[in-house]
Structure 1
Amino acid sequence: MAAPQRAVDLKPRAQGQDKASSSSSKRFHPAFAALDADIVLESSDGELYRIHAYTLRSTSGFFRAMLSLPQPPGRRDATIQVHQPKDTVEQLLCLMCGLDMRPWHSYDDLAAVLALAEIWDTPGPIASLRAVVTNPKYLTTAPLDIYVLAVHFGWTVEAELASTHTLTLNLSSPEHADTLASLPAPALLALLNLHRKRRDTLRTLLDSPARFLAGNGNPFHCGTCAITPLDNTSWRALKHRVFREMDERPIGDGLGVPVGGICEWEEARACWAAKCLKPGCGAVNYDRVATLKQIKACVDGLPRVIQWDWD
């Protein structure tokens, strides 16, 4: 996660101003306006927060180090400027102070607060946010971002869970290039290997005569007349379409379903319509229901999480 070059700046107040008057033209957040608090933070968009120094020191390694340093003359009552907007600062301060928080609006809001929590070295809020990142809403809408986040913080369980949800994505799509480039090489390879292994393993299973004898037997004769070798052109076309689907959507949730998904493909309709060419026979080459069940069984047995030595 990229961090700003500076976490805070100190802006001295004009000589003779007190806490109440120095910021009269700006708004204090109502939850952080106690007059006995001795530290004032200011967000990048001008909202102010009065916080007790004890709270900052006890919850943030960054402020613990900063507030322990001797301050030059004129800096005693300085306002600490934070280079993040009020929505981000407010959420993190609420976590640090144990106050109620507003609902999260998006993954980007969550990621911004987590980035600031890392800059400020706040273990408590980071632990709380760890539980939030696996919200199904984020895993569904931003699985690759969650994976990057989990890898960055070394969260094994969360990374594995997110890797499963990335199976709805085509990682070859240009829209994911920048996000993938932000991953360390081992994490990137683990994710790419998961996607590729699902496709290649399914290819091996679909080519197996033991699982799909009628389509892969060499030769396989019509099960009704037992005379005519089957023309497996339609089966090979269907397998090729399945492989393409696994590249585009490795989760494979549209494969093996009796309605929708694979059943709407032109290749599938041609496969179920293929019949024995012997005059007077005309038996269908493939059992539609049995074939779909076998395809689903193959997909269900594919790996679903990354394999990576986190040590």
Structure 2
Amino acid sequence: MRVSRLIVLALALAAPVALAQRHSGSSSPPTAPPGTPARPANGPQAITPASSGMGAIQFVAVNYGVPAPQSLTRQLRSDDDRTRAAALSAVGVPSQYLQRGHTGMPHSIQLEFADLGSSDDLDAMLTVEMDQHIVTAILMPDGDNWRRIATVFVADTFQDPRTTPATFAHTTRSLLQQDRYQAVFRALATDNKGNYTENEAHLRIFNNRAVITMNFASGARDCTSASVGKRTDAAGGCNIVHRWLQPDPTDPAKHFTLVTATGHLSAHEAADPLGTSRAYEDAHLRNFSCQPFLFSDVALRFEPTAISGPCMK
């Protein structure tokens, strides 16, 4: 009898629960069981660089056998269309310059030798200026032969006097190894309102491959939205930004800093004939922020280790 009462009592207690879980077209939907609370993300948050991007600069990694750089420079100036077309193809110019009967002729050629890798051999940067493009071939010696391992180019008309092979491509000492070099590329995008953005990309050779180790907007002038999240100037004017990567003085071999400098030109200063000078803009920079970087031996690029903040702490 005691056992029977316990069973009846258990069934009576279970009945409301069972009824609450039933659902028909005219009744309320079942009560959902309490959900598991969401767990906060414990992983580290990604740190983004203060600036990144190559803008108009195009990079293509390749691996082609080519003639020696000195031979290519001679062939690029050949009067024979086939010879010149073969040399242009070896450099990696766009196909529009290789059409039969309309083979392009370079306006200028720049050849520079530098140690971009870790070997004792000198690599070559061969830059040609075409009607609508500036193209740089990164060439690496391979025994007695040469190989093109990358092409870097920008769409830019020859009629623009501000750009030449020298303004697009040049070498500087590598930040990682003072006895080696890096290739630096810069490209400028402008409009008819006085605005511009300049992008910069750094290139080294690792394990016989050309690698972009760093890219960012190295300069900008904004004359149309000076009051949007920036300095407000009722009389107009332009906000300016300059940016560069430099070694950290405390440990220049391993730590690096991306410096972002901002300033403002009044409407009168922006209209000054000197206002387009880089040195003139430099003189008007007032605020500086710094972001620490390290070079990743795995990713083969500079990566930020903290968010950008005041340079002086």
Instruction: Specify the TM-score bucket, using the shorter chain as the normaliser.
Output: under 0.3
TM-score (norm 1): 0.24
Structure with more of its chain in helix, by fraction: 1
Structure with more of its chain in strand, by fraction: 2
